[in-house]
Amino acid sequence: MVAVVLLGIAIAAIVGSNAAFSLQTSQAGELSTAEFLIEQIRELTALMPVNDPNQVSIYGFDGDTFNPPIDGQRRPLANFSAYSQVVTVDYVNATNFQQIVADNSSDFVRITVKILYNGSEISQAKWIRCIE
């Protein structure tokens, strides 16, 4: 009887740890995918003009949500349809990148990308870009 009880406890512990491991693996995969999707927007905007009316520009992305998300060449990534990329672009003060410049007169923009998975934010990244 004691052996059966000990075996039951051991099996319960294994099942519990397996469930926790599966959850951690799933969350790690979601976060890895989110970082990949952030890098796609970073790559896309790296050489793009900030605000050129004759070209697709970074400021034109302000407020855009991409679902399915897009890659670095603006192609939809249909296999990631549970994810969304939300892009915000703000002109910021040259000495305080947290302060938004409302009249767009700054030489710097802050690009923010939020990644949503099934509508919930799982990652976010911000970077500053100088107007060339």
Q: What is the pLDDT of residues 112-128, one digit of tens each?
A: 999 999 999 999 999 99
pLDDT at 31 over 80: yes
- Average per-residue pLDDT in the chain? 86
User: How far is residue 126's CA from residue 110's CA, in Å, rounded to a whole number?
Assistant: 7
Number of domains in the chain: 1
**Closest listed residue to residue 38, CA positions, set 4, 91, 94, 88:** 88
Q: Range of 122's domain?
A: 2-130
**CA 52 vs CA 99, 103, 117, 129: distances in Å:** 23, 16, 32, 15
pLDDT band at 54 (very low <50, low <70, confident <90, very high): low
- Residue 46, SS3? coil
pTM to 2 decimals?
A: 0.77
Q: Which residue has the higher pLDDT, 126 or 25?
A: 126
- What's the pLDDT score for residue 37? 97
